[in-house]
Amino acid sequence: GGVSVRRVLPAAERQMVGPFIFFDHLGPARFEPGQGMDVRPHPHIGLATVTYLMQGRILYRDSLANVQPIDPGEMNLMTAGSGIVHSERTPPAERAAGQAVLGLQSWVALPQAAEETAPSFQHFDAEVLPTVADPGVTARVIAGRAFGAVSPVTTLSDWFYVDLRLTAGQRAPLDADYEERALYLVEGAIEIEGQSFDEPQMLVFRSGAAITIRATTAARMMLLGGAPLDGERYIWWNLVSSRRERIEQAKADWRTGRFA
């Protein structure tokens, strides 16, 4: 549908950061009137998808009968578990008018004990996600805990996700509360331990290391990570599992119409 996607995870250097197994950067893109995005119905198992927009609006629809527009600063958490089908499209009004789109979608692999949990969906308005603000520093805690705040989002494992914005010259810490941590720089330039980094790239940090981020220009980034997952995960298309045979079963279910 005309949206460029930078797929950051999995990479040759690293498959996961905590339970984050896919990390996609959508846009920035500009849809002219009459144009839009159409991610057609597709299946998932064994994961939760996290959709977070910085610009634009997307309409989410799934086989549990959820229909939910998502706007900038809001959070959609779809837990596939044993299986779900969903689509993501440009809503009719925005398709008619045209819009700019910028956002992130990540997949969080589920712990083995929760891989076959019943599918579910959660949506959180921007106003209910805690925001921590100091002069030149704004952090929205989307999931987990950070900067002294705790998100209301229910997760099946221990992970965190934070939208952090810094004005030029400002600093922010990345505490060692989680064993695995990363930063994805969406906009701007930063400096860490004397090294400079420009958008767009992901930085993965040593466990336990004290990190201070300094913005050399106005910058926006996502902080993410969590506890390491309990074993290897296999991926095929939109399917994730700790067992190869489960992937094969899901592939056959999709081909023969056994998904809802």
3-state secondary structure 206-254: CCCCCEEEEECCCEEEEEEEECCCCCCCEEECCEEECCHHHHHHHHHHH
Asked if 93 and 33 touch (Cβ cutoff 8 Å), the reply is: no
169's tokens: 């010259």
Q: How far apart are CA 113 and CA 187, in angstroms?
A: 37
Asked if 1 and 38 touch (Cβ cutoff 8 Å), the reply is: yes
Question: In 3-state terms, what secondary structure has residue 202?
Answer: strand
Asked if 99 and 47 touch (Cβ cutoff 8 Å), the reply is: no
Which pLDDT score, from 0 to 100, does residue 1 have? 58
Q: How far apart are CA 176 and CA 225, in angstroms?
A: 10
Helices first, then strands: H and E counts in the chain: 2, 24
Asked if 186 and 221 touch (Cβ cutoff 8 Å), the reply is: yes
Exposure on the CB side of residue 250, measured as CA atoms within 13 A: 27
Q: Which of 64, 178, 198 is nearest to 122 (CA)?
A: 64
pLDDT of the chain along its 260 residues, tens only?
A: 567 788 999 888 888 999 999 999 998 889 999 999 999 999 999 999 999 999 999 999 999 999 999 999 999 999 999 999 999 999 999 999 999 999 999 999 999 999 999 999 999 999 999 999 999 999 999 999 999 999 999 999 999 999 999 999 999 999 988 999 999 999 999 999 999 999 999 999 999 998 999 999 999 999 999 999 999 999 999 999 999 999 999 999 999 999 88
Which pLDDT score, from 0 to 100, does residue 2 have? 63
Task: Look at the pTM and tell me if it is higher than 0.75.
Answer: yes
3-state secondary structure 46-84: CEEEEEEEEECCEEEEECCCCEEEECCCCEEEEECCCCE
Q: How far apart are CA 56 and CA 30, in angstroms?
A: 9
Q: How far apart are CA 81 and CA 117, in angstroms?
A: 5
